[in-house]
């Protein structure tokens, strides 16, 4: 069969809708009709080469190139067909996707850390995790899929380990955003930094992921939440969802924090700008208190090695610098949990979806993200 899918053919080439050939689901694979897909910044990291694996890594895992690739790794949909031996979902089930598959049996999954599943090593490019072959083809060429998914397509074929079954009454738009950005930001505050009632949290970057971090901090009981972003519109939105104060830069926040915290500074700093640069680490530590937790959520270029850090202050302030993938929580725990918080009116999603786009408008949506005119965009698929 064929499906419309949004494809990037090479470094810095635009996202473009194509009619692609798609094979039926193989063993343990599932076909999903998409309902919503969210616009996480990580797809742009792929297009710009920030997250291109080094050529020798690609060679080692037998992948000729990261391109061409079907974009999209945030999404929700309905299962329309299952291949052999599928046990986790059935036709008609509502699902959210997960950019890290969860096998359930590797060391990390078995110890309750499905966000670290060993299958994650195949997430950026290559064939299906079931057998290494490809299901999508364009003019005879095999297509990669972003994060083993490719949610910017009317129909998607993926492995059942890449899906999270959700209740049929779940808010599907919320499920799409929670499938990556919101969960990652929320978990950065709640699961990684373990924000406690009364603490002061600084969130740097107020896009989709930052919006999750701000709300995680609010729900965890933070007293002061300082949203940092150079775009005034993002700061207005941040206030609507829980930020108590705003600043245009970390330097501005550095001047505000002593007064806001009786001289103590921030207990937690979460870094969620669109692209992480090495000099932000020193600035983040500078607004941190003694014993502060600094969480690195945003993605930098894959070969970024240089970091600014005052090593003397870092040790003497007893600070902790921590990375996170998917906000350090298992997708099959976090996604249903956050959907329940949406139902309860505690987690706000509609407030951050600035605009709905058609599949043909994905490139436009990413240009709007770069211009700072949307907090999060979603693709709404035809019913």
Ligand X SMILES: NC(=O)c1ccc[n+]([C@@H]2O[C@H](COP(=O)([O-])OP(=O)(O)OC[C@H]3O[C@@H](n4cnc5c(N)ncnc54)[C@H](O)[C@@H]3O)[C@@H](O)[C@H]2O)c1
- The residues that touch ligand X, with contacts defined as CB under 6 A, are 40-42, 45, 180-181, 184, 204-210, 228-231, 234, 272-275, 297-299, 324-326, 369, 372
Shortest reach from residue 224's CB to Zn ion, in Å: 28
Residue 275 CA to residue 14 CA, distance in Å, equals: 19
Site for Zn ion in 180-209 (CB under 5 A): 180
Cβ count within 10 A of residue 313: 13
Closer residue to ligand X (CB): 7 or 204: 204
- Six token digits for residue 133: 């072959």
- The angle formed by the CA atoms of residues 149, 131 and 32, to the nearest 5 degrees, is 30
The site string for Zn ion over 2-41 (x = CB under 5 A, - otherwise) reads --------------------------------------x-
Closer residue to ligand X (CB): 200 or 297: 297
* Partner that binds at residue 106, options ligand X, Zn ion, none, CB closer than 5 to 8 Å by kind: Zn ion
Shortest reach from residue 32's CB to ligand X, in Å: 20
* 117 contributes a contact to Zn ion by CB under 5 A: yes
- The angle formed by the CA atoms of residues 350, 380 and 146, to the nearest 5 degrees, is 100
Total interface residues for Zn ion by CB under 5 A: 7
Residue 269 CA to residue 293 CA, distance in Å, equals: 6
Shortest reach from residue 376's CB to ligand X, in Å: 7
Shortest reach from residue 38's CB to ligand X, in Å: 9
Instruction: Give DSSP secondary structure letters for 187-202.
Output: HIIIIIS---TT-EEE
Any bridge partners for residue 52, and if so which? none
Closer residue to ligand X (CB): 103 or 275: 275
Per DSSP, the chain holds a count of helices (H) and strands (E) of 12, 19
User: Which DSSP category does 59 fall into?
Assistant: H
* Pairing of the two strands 136-138 and 200-204: unpaired
Closer residue to ligand X (CB): 82 or 164: 164
* Partner that binds at residue 334, options ligand X, Zn ion, none, CB closer than 5 to 8 Å by kind: none
Shortest reach from residue 284's CB to ligand X, in Å: 10
Grouping H, G, I as helix, E, B as strand and the rest as coil, residue 57 is: helix
Shortest reach from residue 379's CB to ligand X, in Å: 15
* Structural contact between residues 54 and 302, judged by C-beta atoms closer than 8 angstroms: yes
**Phi (first) and psi of residue 314, to 5 degrees:** -60, -45
Of positions 106, 138, 260, 275, contacts Zn ion by CB under 5 A = 106
Instruction: Note the residues at the interface with Zn ion (CB under 5 A).
Output: 40, 42, 103, 106, 109, 117, 180
């Amino acid at each position: 069969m064929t499906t419309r899918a949004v494809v990037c053919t090479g470094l810095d080439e635009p996202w473009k809708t194509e009619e692609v050939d798609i094979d039926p689901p193989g063993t343990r694979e599932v076909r999903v009709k998409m309902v919503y897909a969210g616009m996480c910044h990580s797809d742009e990291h792929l297009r710009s080469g920030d997250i291109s694996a080094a050529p020798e890594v690609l060679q080692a895992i037998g992948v000729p190139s990261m391109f061409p690739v079907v974009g999209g790794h945030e999404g929700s949909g309905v299962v329309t067909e299952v291949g052999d031996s599928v046990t986790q979902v059935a036709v008609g089930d509502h699902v959210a996707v997960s950019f890290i598959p969860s096998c359930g049996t590797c060391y990390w999954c078995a110890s309750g850390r499905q966000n670290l599943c060993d299958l994650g090593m195949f997430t950026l490019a290559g064939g299906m995790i079931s057998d290494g072959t490809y299901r999508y083809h364009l003019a005879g060429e095999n297509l990669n899929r972003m994060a083993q998914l490719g949610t910017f397509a009317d129909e998607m074929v993926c492995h059942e380990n890449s899906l999270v079954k959700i209740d049929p009454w779940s808010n599907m738009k919320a499920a799409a955003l929670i499938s990556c950005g919101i969960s990652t930001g929320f978990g950065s505050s709640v699961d990684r930094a373990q924000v406690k009632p009364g603490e002061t949290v600084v969130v740097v970057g107020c896009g989709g992921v930052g919006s999750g971090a701000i709300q995680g901090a609010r729900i965890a009981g933070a007293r002061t939440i300082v949203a940092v972003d150079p775009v005034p519109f993002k700061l207005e939105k941040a206030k609507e969802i829980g930020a108590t104060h705003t600043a245009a830069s970390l330097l501005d926040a550095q001047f505000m924090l002593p007064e806001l915290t009786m001289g103590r500074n921030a207990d937690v700093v979460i870094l969620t700008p669109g692209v992480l640069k090495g000099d932000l680490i020193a600035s983040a530590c500078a607004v941190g208190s003694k014993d502060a937790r600094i969480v690195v959520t945003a993605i930098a270029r894959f070969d970024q090695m240089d970091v600014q850090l005052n090593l003397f202050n870092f040790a003497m302030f007893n600070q902790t610098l921590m990375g996170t993938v998917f906000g350090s929580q298992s997708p099959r725990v976090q996604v249903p949990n956050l959907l329940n918080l949406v139902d309860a009116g505690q987690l706000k999603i509609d407030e951050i979806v600035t605009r709905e786009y058609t599949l043909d408008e994905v490139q436009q949506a990413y240009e709007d993200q770069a211009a700072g005119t949307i907090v999060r965009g979603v693709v709404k698929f035809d019913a």
